Amino acid sequence: MRGNPSRLLVGVALLALVLTSCGGSAYSFQGGELKPVAPASPIALTDQHGNPWSLADQQGKIVFLYFGYTTCPDACPTTLSDWIEVRRLLGDKADKTEFVMVTVDPERDTAEKLNKYLGFFDPIFVGLTGDAETIKQLERNYGIVAQREEHPESATGYLMNHTTSFWVIDSKGNLRLTFAHGTDPEIVAEDVKHLN
Amino acid sequence: MNAMNRRGFLAMAVGSVALISGARTISAHGGDGTPMAGGMHGAMPGGTPGAMPMGGAAGAFMTITNGGSVDDRLIAVSTDVAQVSEIHEMKNVNGVMMMSPLPDGLAIPAGQSVELKPGGYHVMLIGLKHDLNPGEHYELKVTFEHAGEITLDVPIFATKNTFADADKLEPVMVGDLKIEGVWTRMAPALLDASATPVTLDPSATPAH
């Protein structure tokens, strides 16, 4: 469409003003929405290929963030297979997303193990590991509870009790939404479609 | 303090309270090498505390109905697809997933149905020997205190929803117990090509 760019801009601005003042087309997020909008805490860890990964490098992409571990037989596979569905529902928008699992069990979850684990669900998923102190700090920053519980009577040796909800960070790096474990992928996808 | 920090702090505070109030004391012992009642297949692998068998983990789910007048208990589980099988309970307390082994097994009271399902009780397969892929099956032997043992055919599904939509296998009976809706979610074995599989102490294997 050719035309005077500034006129087009004014037209768009007026339309936006009308829409927001009427409130008619404002979308109501179904997930937990964080207000006011604030930047997500920095993340700098190692991905499942052994390469450095930082949240700052993901500007322009919507980042899904979950804290789990590979010995988890139930909660984590549920979230990861839900994410496969969310990704599918997002269609083209999936190209602008990153799905990231940070391990709460860096002692056992090496980059190689994360690679095998996440690759089983979808090789496009990112797995992050690092030193225990950095991860502990990250858990605090993101309000994640993750506690090791010793179980010498079990072959697992120890298990991790951990928060199972996940965060969504928008393409500008702001922490925007949180979803409870088991939220219908349709709901997640619908919300994320209204995020930039 | 911006909204994110405030919310994060709140989540952590709530979660911490949940952990403290939900703490469980595990009092079972298996140190003398004899098999523990409650689902341990073979002895604990030797090695450093915190070490676990090579391989990933998976959960098996089912519904067990006790149509008899005697309380029963699921006391042991075993399978060839994993190195160790145990019975576990999962609880989601204020958004924190807490899992604990049930060394005494799982009670199946007379006249009641007990469901092993995601987010609740499950059989935990530890140290998978190969990937569990959707569409495949494996065998799981379950042993009850009174009803005895039976080998179940366990189909593998991608998700709880694909299981829910699928045709179900016929229920199986063992004594007064009916077992139905048996399934497992897909899971990776996470095997390291160079790893030596842990060998269990044969003297501790329960007699079958």
Query: What DSSP string runs through B4-32?
Result: HHHHHHHHHHHHHHHHHHT--------TT
Q: Which of B17-21, B36-40, B163-167 has the highest mean pLDDT?
A: B163-167
Instruction: Identify the band that residue A26 occupies on the pLDDT scale cut at 50, 70 and 90.
Output: confident
How far CA A148 is from CA of A89, A118, B11, B163, in Å, comes to: 35, 22, 18, 31
CA distance A62 to A42: 15
Q: Looking at mean pLDDT, say which of A11-25, B46-60, B137-151 comes out highest.
A: B137-151
Cα B83 from Cα A118, distance rounded (Å): 22
Higher pLDDT, A46 or B11: A46
Query: Does the distance separating the beta carbons of A73 and B4 come in below 8 Å?
Result: no
Minimal Cβ distance to B187: which of A75, A77, A82: A77
| pLDDT value at B55 more than 90 | no
Residue type, B115: E
Using alpha carbons, select from B79, B42, B81, B38 the residue that is nearest to residue B207: B42
Average pLDDT of chain A, as a whole number: 90
Above pLDDT 70, what percent of chain A? 87
Structure token digits, residue A189: 């996808």
- Which tens digits make up the pLDDT trace of B22-38? 333 222 333 333 333 33
**Block residue for tokens 């602008």:** A96
Among chain A residues, CA nearest to B32: A153
- Which residues neighbour B20 within 8 Å (Cβ) at sequence distance 6 or greater? none
Choose from B21, B54, B96 for mutation: most chain A CBs within 10 A.
B96
Residues of chain B with Cβ-Cβ distance to A71 below 8 Å are 52, 56-57
Q: Per-residue pLDDT for B138 more than 90?
A: yes
B177's enclosing H/E stretch is strand B177-185
Report the candidate in A94, A74, A103 with the shortest Cα–Cα distance to residue A182.
Answer: A74
The two tokens of residue B72 are: 């029963």
Give the DSSP H/E element, type plus range, for residue A36.
Answer: strand A32-39
- Which of A156, A164, A167, A177 would best serve as a mutation to test chain B binding (most B beta carbons within 10 A)? A156
Across the interface, do B119 and A73 touch by the CB < 8 Å criterion?
no
Chain A residue with CA closest to B128: the answer is A71
What CA–CA distances, in Å, run from A51 to A111, B193, B198?
9, 22, 31
> Of B117, B129, B111, which Cα lies nearest the Cα of B177?
B111
**According to the model, what pLDDT value does residue B130 have?**
92
The residue among B81 and B48 whose pLDDT is bigger is B81
Q: What angle do CA B120, B26, A163 make, to 5 degrees?
A: 45
Amino acid code (one letter) for B37:
A
Provide the sign of the torsion angle of the four alpha carbons B149, B155, B160, B165, taken in this order.
negative
> Has residue B104 got a pLDDT over 80?
yes
Establish, for the pair of chains A and B, how many residue pairs have beta carbons separated by less than 8 Å. 162
Higher per-residue confidence, B33 vs A99? A99
pLDDT for position A73: 79
**Does the structure show a pLDDT above 50 at B47?**
no
Q: Amino acid identity of A131?
A: D
